[in-house]
Amino acid sequence: MASVLRSLMPLVALAGMALAGPKSCPSNIPLSCHNTTEVADTCCFIPAGQLLQTQFWDTNPVTGPTDSWTIHGLWPDNCDGTYPAQCDTSRAYTNISDILSSTTGGSDTLAYMKTYWKDYKGDDESFWQHEWGKHGTCISTLDPSCYSGYKPTEEATAFFARTVALFKTLPTYQWLADAGITPSSSRTYALADVQAALQNQHGAKVTLSCRGKALNEVWYHFNVQGSLQQGKFVAAQPDGAKGKCPSKVQYRPKSGDGGS
Ligand SMILES: *[C@@H]1O[C@H](CO)[C@@H](O)[C@H](O)[C@H]1NC(C)=O
Ligand SMILES: *[C@@H]1O[C@H](CO)[C@@H](O)[C@H](O)[C@H]1NC(C)=O
């Protein structure tokens, strides 16, 4: 696996050079949370290097498509289960929709977010601001100093684009359906079967959370080789015991019937 990663890195570096913005990274950067000595270049290495792509299954109220989980965020954890938060209030932007709609790539990201990155209270913009300010500003490779010819807010565009791209590789609804686990207002499922279905696809244990008995969140854990923007995400075991569900769980339909 490590040698496959290494052989891919020159391609990633080339792609980096073709883009204005974040600098390209050397190929010998260690995988995050796997360094044995200090890594000075935090534009190419994320010290809070366990990244969690977190997803919701919201049934009360319903958010998002009935056949898809939705995005919660992309969170940097320290490699020990703790996490940094609100790392740069000067970049806690309050205009995420405007930032994204002002660039071509960002507009595509924004259009996708409007369907798949939903706030249960109906205020998507505030939710995106919260996710960026609390978590995004703590990702070292998004620091303005990591960009050549930095244009204000471009790192936020990169954060949302990367989160959306990663989410698209983690189709929880489909993975569960493929294992015969579909929403039902009457059935329950063994938590171990839900875990096994997702773990088999992701390649590492996932974190599952419930509201009461009802399955409500899944967190996919990764380490990263290189930057958030252009590096390689590698499935990782959770860096701590998180989430809480009973051994038999409900997976309620998004039918709008009041859920739990
Ligand atoms: C890994 O690198 C980070 C960032 O430079 C550093 O803080 C940490 O101590 C390093 N870990 C080890 C085991 O050297
Ligand atoms: C968003 O706000 C930041 C300052 O917080 C500003 O620099 C930037 O120009 C704004 N972007 C847009 C597209 O309005």
Asked if residues 60 and 258 have their Cβ atoms less than 8 Å apart, the reply is yes
Mean pLDDT of 203-224: 98
Rounded Cα distance between 54 and 230, Å, is 20
Which pLDDT band holds residue 259 (cuts at 50, 70, 90)?
very low
Q: Whose Cα sits closest to atom 14 in ligand 1? A: 37
| C-alpha span between 54 and 77 (Å, rounded) | 12
Query: Residue 260: which residues within 8 A CB-CB, separation 6 or more?
Result: 59, 60, 211, 212, 213, 214, 250, 252
Residue 260 located in a structural domain: no
Q: Which atom of ligand 2 is nearest to the CA of 99?
A: 13
What pTM value is reported for the model? 0.91
The CATH number that applies at residue 161 is 3.90.730.10
Using one digit for the tens of pLDDT, what is the confidence trace for 220-237? 999 999 999 999 999 999
Domain presence at residue 143: yes
Whether the pLDDT of residue 242 is over 90: the answer is no
Domains: count for the chain: 1
Boundaries of domain holding 48: 5-250
Q: Give, rounded to a whole angstrom, the gap between the first and last alpha carbons of the chain.
A: 43
Residue 126 lies in a domain: yes
> Considering every ligand atom, which ligand is closest to the CA of 129?
2
Q: 139-181, pLDDT tens digit by residue?
A: 999 999 999 999 999 999 999 999 999 999 999 999 999 999 9
143 φψ region: left (φ > 0), alpha (ψ -120 to 50), beta (else) = beta
Closest ligand (CA of 144): 2
* C-alpha span between 150 and 196 (Å, rounded): 43
Identify whether 259 is part of a domain: no
Mean pLDDT over all residues of the chain?
92
The pLDDT score that the predictor gives to residue 17 is: 47
Ligand 1 first shell, C-beta below 6 A: 35-39, 47
pLDDT given for residue 138 in this prediction? 98
Instruction: Calculate how far, in angstroms, residue 228's C-alpha sits from the geometric centre of ligand 1.
Output: 17
In this structure, the residue with its CA closest to atom 6 of ligand 1 is: 38
For residue 177, being part of any structural domain is answered with: yes
The pLDDT tens digits of the residues spanning 106-132 come to 999 999 999 999 999 999 999 999 999
Can you tell me which residue has the tokens 């919260």? Answer: 130
In a domain, 257, yes or no: no
Residue 44 near residue 140 (C-beta atoms within 8 A): no
Indicate whether residue 237 lines ligand 2 (CB < 6 A).
Answer: no
Output the six-digit token pair for 165.
């791209």
Q: Tell whether ligand 2 has an atom less than 6 A from the beta carbon of residue 129.
A: no
